[in-house]
């Protein structure tokens, strides 16, 4: 990873291991929007899954590899949905 990413202020205990899914933006999405954007930025910068899980989600992938992998993939999937589809809700009145 070429950039240094500041450790997320969000503690892993406030994150769901699996993002609550909806066809609309949720309160969870709004609360974790910065996390989603950090993940997309880190992914674009070729960060490893371990780096993203640890530095952004606050999950130690060495101690909890399955949880780290599942949480990361769930949050990345939702982040991608937001930038391709869900962003429309951000601008709705």
Residue positions counted in the chain: 93
pLDDT band at 87 (very low <50, low <70, confident <90, very high): confident
Q: Where is mean pLDDT largest: 15-19, 70-74, 83-87?
A: 70-74
Residue-wise pLDDT tens digits, 15-67: 899 999 999 999 999 999 999 999 999 999 999 999 999 999 999 999 999 99
Q: Say yes or no to pLDDT of 9 above 80.
A: no
Residue 55 lies in a domain: yes
Residue 75 lies in a domain: yes
Number of domains in the chain: 1
Residue 10 lies in a domain: no
What is the extent of the structural domain holding 31?
26-88
CA angle 63, 82, 38 (to 5 degrees): 45
For the whole model, what pTM was predicted? 0.82
């Amino acid at each position: 990873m070429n950039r240094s990413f500041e450790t997320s202020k969000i503690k892993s205990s406030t994150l769901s291991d699996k993002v609550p899914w909806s066809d609309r933006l949720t309160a969870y999405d709004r609360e974790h929007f910065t996390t989603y954007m950090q993940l997309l930025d880190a992914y674009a910068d070729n960060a490893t899954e371990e780096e993203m899980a640890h530095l952004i989600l606050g999950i130690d992938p060495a101690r909890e590899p399955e949880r780290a992998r599942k949480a990361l993939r769930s949050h990345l999937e939702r982040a991608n949905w937001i930038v391709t589809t869900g962003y429309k809700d951000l601008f709705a009145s």
